[in-house]
Amino acid sequence: MKNLKSLSKYARTNIYSYGMVIVAFVVVTIAQSMGMINNFLGGLLVPVCVYVVMALSLNLVVGVSGELSLGHAGFMSVGAFSGIVAAAMVRDSISSDPLKLLIAIVIGGIFAGIVGFLVGIPVLRLRGDYLAIVTLAFGEIIKNIINYIYVGVDANGLHVCTGTADNLNMENGRIVLQGPQGAVGVQKIATFGAGIVLVLVTLFVVINLIHSRSGRAITAIRDNRIAAESVGISVTKYKLTAFVTSAVLAGMAGALYAMNYSSIAAKKFDFNTSILILVFVVLGGMGNIPGTILATVVLYLVPELLRSFADYRMLIYAIVLIVVMLAKNSQKVKMLKDTILEKIFKKTKPTEVGDNV
C-alpha cells in the first residue's frame, strides 16, 4: 500500500481501474469453472460490461467535458442496430464468431461516431439545459426511426424499406430489423471475455484521452470556457472530440449488448436507459473512473439481484437514489463522516474543494 501511495495520482487511477477489471475477470472465470455461477448470474455478465463501457463513455461527456447529455442510449441504439445489420450481412461468409462480433462492434462504433459527429455540431451552439434537451430529442428520434424501418438480407445484399416487411422484396432472405419489433433472429455471439476486452479498451482510450493535451484542453474548457478560449483553445474542436469519442464507445457497447440477445427492440434504448447511465456516472463521482466502474457494477447488479422483491425493488432503488443524493450534499452527514474518519485514523481528512455533486 505504501508503494501505491508514493505513485502519482495518474498512475494510481490507472492501477485501480485496470486492476479492478482484471481481478473481476479472474474471479468470475474461476467461479465459472467451479460452477458457482448459475444461468441467471451468467446472463448478467455481458450487460454489466456493456453498462460499464456506457458509463465510462458518458463520463467523458458529463464528467470531463461538463456537458449534460440525456440521450446517451441513442448512440447505444445506433451501434446496436448497425452492428446487428453488419453481423447479419457477414453471417454466411464468415464462420468465426469472434470475428463476426468484432466486425459488429467496429461497425457499431463507426456508425455511432458518425451520428455523434452530426449531433455534436448543434452541441457547440447550445449550453446547459438546452444541450440536455437536444440530446434527449435525438435519443427519441433514433428510437422512432428504428421503429419505422425494416431491413432484410438475401443473396443480393441488403434490402431496406418502411411500412411492412412485405415491401422488402426479398428472395428467400432473412429479416433483420422488423420495425417496432426491433431486431429478430440475432446470433448470440457476445461473450464475457469480449465484454472485458471492450472495457479495457474503453479504459485505455478514456484514461489516455483525459491525460493527453486534448484532455487538458477539454477540462480547461469545462472549468472556464472564456479563459480557455482566450488562450487559444478551440472549443469546437475539443468538445467535439470528447463527444464523438464518447459516441463511438457507446456504439461499440451497444453492438456488444445486442449480440447478447436473440431479439432486441429500439424501446430498450429509451430515455430511461439514458437516465440510468447518467445515474451511474453521477453516483460514481463525475470524472472519477474507478468510482464510475464500481457504481455501475453495484447499481446494475443490486436491482437485478433484488428481483425476489419483485414489485418493491424499483421503489427501494428510487428511495436509495434520493437518500444518497441528499446525504451526499448534506453538511451534517459530511461532518459526521469526518468525525468518524478522525476517530478511526486519528487524523483529519483534507476537505475537498470544488466538488459539486
Partner 1 sequence: MSLITQLIDGLSLGSVYAVIALGYTMVYGIAKMLNFAHGDVIMVGGYICYEIMVSAGMPSILGILAAMVVCTVLGITIERFAYKPLRKAGSLAVLITAIGVSYFLQNAAMLIFGSETKTFTSVVPSFALAIKDLSISGLTLVTIVVSVVIMIALTLFIKKSKIGKAMRAVSEDKDAAELMGINVNSTISVTFAIGSALAAIAGVLLCSTSKGIMPTTGSMPGIKAFTAAVFGGIGSIPGAMVGGLLLGVIETLSKAYISYELTDAIVFAILIVVLLVRPTGLFGKKINEKV
Q: Whose CA is closest to 112, among 255, 214, 272, 218?
A: 255
Query: Taking the complex as a whole, how short is the minimal distance between the CB of residue 266 and partner 1, in angstroms?
Result: 11
Query: Residue 258 CB, nearest distance to partner 1 (Å)?
Result: 21
Residues near partner 1, by CB under 8 A = 62, 68, 122, 125-130, 132-134, 136-138, 140-141, 143-145, 147-148, 226, 271, 275, 278-279, 282-283, 286, 311-312, 314-315, 317-319, 321-322, 325-326, 328-330, 356-357
Q: How far is the CB of 244 from partner 1 (least distance, A)?
A: 18
Q: Least distance (Å) from partner 1 to the CB of residue 239?
A: 15
- CA atoms 47, 58, 194, 35: torsion sign: negative
Cα separation, 158 vs 173, whole angstroms:
9
Smallest gap, in angstroms, from Cβ of residue 323 to partner 1? 9
Within 10 angstroms of residue 335's Cβ, the number of other Cβ atoms is 10
Nearer to partner 1, 69 or 245 (CB): 69
Q: Where are the beta strands (DSSP E) in 117-265?
A: 149-154, 157-162, 174-178
Q: What residues are paired with 160 via a beta bridge?
A: 151
For partner 1, the closer CB: 305 or 318? 318
Cβ proximity to partner 1, 140 vs 154, nearer residue: 140
Size of the chain in residues: 357
Q: Which is nearer to partner 1, 184 or 325 (CB)?
A: 325
User: DSSP readout, 67-120?
Assistant: ---S-HHHHHHHHHHHHHHHHHHTTTT---HHHHHHHHHHHHHHHHHHHHHHHH
Instruction: Please identify, using beta-carbon distances, which residue of 132 and 201 lies nearer to partner 1.
Output: 132
Q: How far is the CB of 322 from partner 1 (least distance, A)?
A: 4
Contact between residue 108 and residue 252 where contact means Cβ atoms under 8 Å apart: yes
3-state secondary structure of 264: strand
What is the Cα–Cα distance from 64 to 241, expressed in whole angstroms? 12
Q: How many CA atoms lie within 13 A of 8 on its CB side?
A: 4
Burial class of residue 213 (count of CB atoms within 10 Å of its CB; 0-12, 13-18, 19+): exposed
Residue pair 357/286 in contact by the 8 Å Cβ criterion: yes
Indicate the residue among 125 and 211 with the shorter CB distance to partner 1.
Answer: 125
Quick one: 74 or 109, whose CB is closer to partner 1? 74
Q: How far is the CB of 346 from partner 1 (least distance, A)?
A: 31
Contact indicator for 71, 136 with CB cutoff of 8 Å: yes
Q: How far is the CB of 327 from partner 1 (least distance, A)?
A: 10
Closer residue to partner 1 (CB): 48 or 123: 123
